[in-house]
Structure 1
Amino acid sequence: MTGWAAFAVAAGLLAAAADGSSAEPFEQTSDERTVLFDGESLEGWTTRGGRYDGAALWTVEDGTLTGRVGENGAGGLIYTTRSYTCFDLSLECRMDHPYDSGVFVRMLPPDSGLKGLQATLDHRPGGEIAAIYADGFLFHNTEAEQYFAKDEWNSVRVRVTGFDPRVQVWINGRPVTDYRLPAGTPGFASRGLVGLQVHGADAEAASRKVQFRDISIVELDVFEDVEFDGADQKKNAGALHRALGGATGGASQARRGAVSEPATSEFTADDVEALTEVARDAGWRDLLAAGLDGWKAIGTEGGYEIAGGVLSIPADGSGHLVTVDDFTDFRLRLDFKIAEMANSGLFLRGARAGGDPAYSGCEIQILDDFNWEERTNSKLAPYQFTGGLYAAVAPGPDKEYRPPGEWNRYEVLVRGSRMAAALNGRLLFDVDTLGLDAKPPFAERAATGFIGLQRYGADSVDGAVSAEVRNMFVQPLAPLAANDAGSQETGSKDGGER
């Protein structure tokens, strides 16, 4: 089983979810970070459920989350009780020198078969601060130690974006690491727990400790390192946000871990965006900028309108609106808003030969989850809720969905047989479609085709517009060669936790 298919199984994305798909309304606070540690208890934390459970001792002392080795020098992690996809994590850390700790991201249980990543805090002679590690070094960092104060409090910031993760680290405000996992590298999780570490040591280490305080997080869009223009930059970044501006280094530079300041995406729930020169140079295209030029209606033709950068899909008629151009491998981002009792969908790689594009290509569902079953007196299959890969994969357990009348955001990666999607920054699925039990099999579906939006007429929709779409950007990608995914360096005697 490939890493992507293994992730779908491990996360329970293929299992039926009787009540988890009809989510409560998602309340996004644009200017506030989420506090992960209250300074008084271990509420919201657990020592089980990640890749490196152990027997370290975790307590609350003087308002700090404090870790020590356990019996016989046993190490271990403490994790957040909920998982995250992309985020900006901020904390302060103090260690009794010498000590080995770290910040772990996207941690899943060992039986998932998937790894997360560690930003090392190895404050020992020969250790490395802000190296990137995953059962072996992915990026060495011999420079950041000089910025980490011995036996004092240090500010640590870790930022994770992308389905294939980009990990950036700041120590005491100084950017020290910018590592991007090569696209298509198998065996890594796209979501998981955040963990803090006590590394196993000899019995002498029992007299030393690591402490954490002021731990907070803000969730980010998956494509947060893409620069778009025209929106308030405060979305998602909260009080810690800085306009970091400027183009990032090339892919080869990022893979090596060279430090660059990210070009942050700029989005708020009320804005229509435009592509910046940086985004255009990276190959992004605005699918709505030219109005309905570049689109073709299949089925009912009249009624579509693009005004003020917003596409309106009528509540009557049937069919779909599709791009004139075909796409093979790409990243796609769009915002959508639906009316009550609306039913729509996002088609990917739809075949030109006709037939239902949900099966000639595929469809990510868009539906009024909040009212559909009750008002239709029906029971939906798990994949029929918003965010499901239709007739194949149910949306993931972290799904957050805003109700009708509010804007939501889809971010999608389609590359070869891999398909990944996020809703409002939270992973829905990341699968190898060739490993799915779907009819027809994905191997028989189009490898190239249109991007489309479903028009599903329904008398139950109140008003003339069923769905609206804005900020619809696509970035065609070159196919991945078999040797494009990088291999990790070695760097551990046991190949496990560092």
Structure 2
Amino acid sequence: MEKNNPSFPPIFDGQTLEGWHSVPRLPVPRAPGERGPDTTTEKYQQAAQTCGKWTVEDGAITGRQDPPGSGYGGYLLSDGVYGDFELIFEARPDWPADTGILVRASALGSQGFQILLDHRRSGNIGGIYGNGIGGFHGISFTLDATYDEHGYPVGLRLEDPSTTIEPLTPDKPALLKYAAGGEQFLSIWKWNDWNEFHIRVEGPSPRITVHINGMKISEMDTAVLKHPLYDATKVRELLGSKGHIAFEIHDNDPGMGAARWAPNAACRWRNIRISELS
């Protein structure tokens, strides 16, 4: 799509972070109504001290942990809030970098519908996750890297299920109304390059459709979604009819450590444009 299409005005000027603001990546209840995290712990207090490091480099929003390798993440939120829309942008993640794009996100950043960009072992790209709204995990494949003789990552491959750290159980693809296969995804993904995402969000409990580089990857109808911790009514009450766009820098955890976000890893986003549907 033409980058100067007037029906998709930019929400990032390519030079500054005007129109965006950062917030810490703080833990939230897994679903509305559940008990919240203990805010007195040292881990929570440390996480609250950083929003990640967000800069503009070569015309792209660039997110890193702050300080590098600290293990603490953050979110960058649009100042504007959006209800029904189509969002287009290009993303370029390092390996490993566990990130995502939240739509209808709350002011905390960590509550909303997340389009996955889990560019790391056992990750998925293009699936849909319920961040703080039930923890549902709509994916149809998991990924790993291929490595050269020096141990340097040089591309993506489908993960060997016998070595996964996040099993692809049958309930996960069942959450999706449409799911591309892993080989289909690999046929269009460009390693160490820019990949264009096109996300459509429509409805009070939204139907979300994700295209990457022109290929439909996933579709989910959250109005009829069945999951033990997801309640469409409670989620609508929590998020309202409009929310922020949020880019994520993931924190690290004892299970994955730097395999989730490498010490000097970054993810980059550019040419961010949105067309409101109503």
* TM-score after normalising by structure 1: 0.36
1:154: which partner in 2?
A: 195
Q: Distance in 1 between matches of 2:272 and 2:21?
A: 15
Residue 266 (structure 2) pairs with residue 209 (structure 1): yes
Give the whole-Å Cα distance in 2 for the aligned partners of 1:109 and 1:83: 10
Quote the residue 1:195 is aligned against: 246
Do the aligned partners of residues 101 and 153 (structure 1) sit closer, same or farther apart at CA in structure 2, a change above 3 Å counting?
same
Q: Is the 8 A contact 1:90 1:217 kept in 2?
A: yes
- The CA deviation at 1:177 is 0.7
Give CA-to-partner distance per residue, 1:416-457, whole Å, 9 cap, x none: xxxxxxxxx2xxxxxxxxxxxxxxxxxxxxxxxxxxxxxxxx
Aligned length: 190
Query: AA paired with 1:38?
Result: D
Q: Answer yes or no: is the 8 Å Cα contact 2:200–2:210 preserved in 1.
A: yes
Does structure 1 retain, via aligned residues, the 8 Å contact 2:63–2:266? Answer: yes
Q: Which runs of 5+ in 1 are unaligned?
A: 1-29, 221-424, 426-498
Counterpart Cα distance in 2 of 1:65 and 1:163: 30
Partner of 1:38: 13
CA shift, 1:127, in A, is 0.4
Over residues 382-410 of structure 1, what are the superposed CA-to-partner deviations in whole Å (9 max), with x where a residue is unaligned?
xxxxxxxxxxxxxxxxxxxxxxxxxxxxx
Distance 2:108 2:244 in 1: 13
Counterpart in the other structure of 1:99:
97
Shift of 1:137: 2.6
TM-aligned CA deviation for residue 187 of structure 1: 2.5
2:23 partner SS: coil
The residue identity in structure 1 corresponding to 2:126 is A
Matched residue SS, 1:119: strand
Give the conservation status (yes or no) of the 8 Å contact 1:89–1:215: yes
Report the counterpart of residue 134 of structure 1 in structure 2.
130
Residues 41-440 of structure 1: pairs in structure 2 closer than 5 A:
41-48=16-23, 55-71=51-67, 72-109=70-107, 115-135=111-131, 136-142=135-141, 143=181, 145-146=185-186, 147-183=188-224, 185-188=232-235, 189=239, 190-201=241-252, 202=257, 205-220=262-277, 425=278
Looking at structure 1, the residues matched to 191 and 211 of structure 2 have their Cα atoms a distance apart, in angstroms, of: 17
The 1-side partners of 2:94 and 2:213 are apart by 18
Q: Can you give the 5+ residue segments of structure 2 that lack an aligned partner in the other structure?
A: 28-47, 142-180, 225-230
Q: Secondary structure at the match of 2:76?
A: strand
Query: What's the secondary structure of 2:234's corresponding residue?
Result: coil
Preserved contact between residue 50 and residue 193 of structure 1 (Cα < 8 Å): no
Secondary structure in 1 matching 2:233 = coil
- 8 A contact 2:23–2:74 mirrored in 1: no
Distance 1:49 1:85 in 2: 23
Q: Percent identity?
A: 33
With a CA cutoff of 8 Å and minimum separation of 6, indicate the structure with the bigger relative contact order: 2
Amino acid in the other structure paired with 1:64: A
**Code of the aligned partner of 2:234:** G
Q: Secondary structure at the match of 1:187?
A: helix
What RMSD in Å do the two structures reach over aligned CA positions? Answer: 2.6
Q: Secondary structure at the match of 2:262?
A: helix
Could you tell me which amino acid in structure 1 is paired with residue 121 of structure 2? P
Distance 1:62 1:118, change over 3 A: same
Mapping for residues 483-498 of structure 1, pairs under 5 Å: none
After superposition, give the CA deviation of every residue in 1:97-118 in whole Å (9 maximum; x if it has no partner).
Answer: 222111100111359xx94200
Aligned residues of 1:130 and 1:141 also touching (Cα < 8 A): no
Query: Structure 1's 110 and 187: CA in aligned 2 closer, same or farther, altered over 3 A?
Result: farther
How far is the alpha carbon of 1:207 from its aligned partner?
1.4
Residues 51 and 109 in structure 1, CA contact (< 8 A), matched pair in contact too: no
Given that 1:97 and 1:150 are in contact with CA atoms closer than 8 Å, whether structure 2 keeps it comes out as no
Partner Cα distance (2:56, 2:108) in 1: 27
Query: Quick check: 2:25–2:73 contact (8 Å CA) kept in 1?
Result: no
Distance change in 2, residues 1:31/1:169 (3 Å): same
* Preserved contact between residue 86 and residue 274 of structure 2 (Cα < 8 Å): yes
Between the aligned partners of 1:58 and 1:108, the Cα distance in structure 2 is 19
Paired with 2:26 and 2:86, the residues of 1 have a C-alpha distance of 21
SS at match of 1:191: coil
Contact 2:25 2:51 in 1 (8 A): no
Q: What residue is the counterpart of 1:440 in the other structure? A: none
Structure showing greater Rg: 1
Give, in angstroms, the shift of residue 31 of structure 1. Answer: 4.5
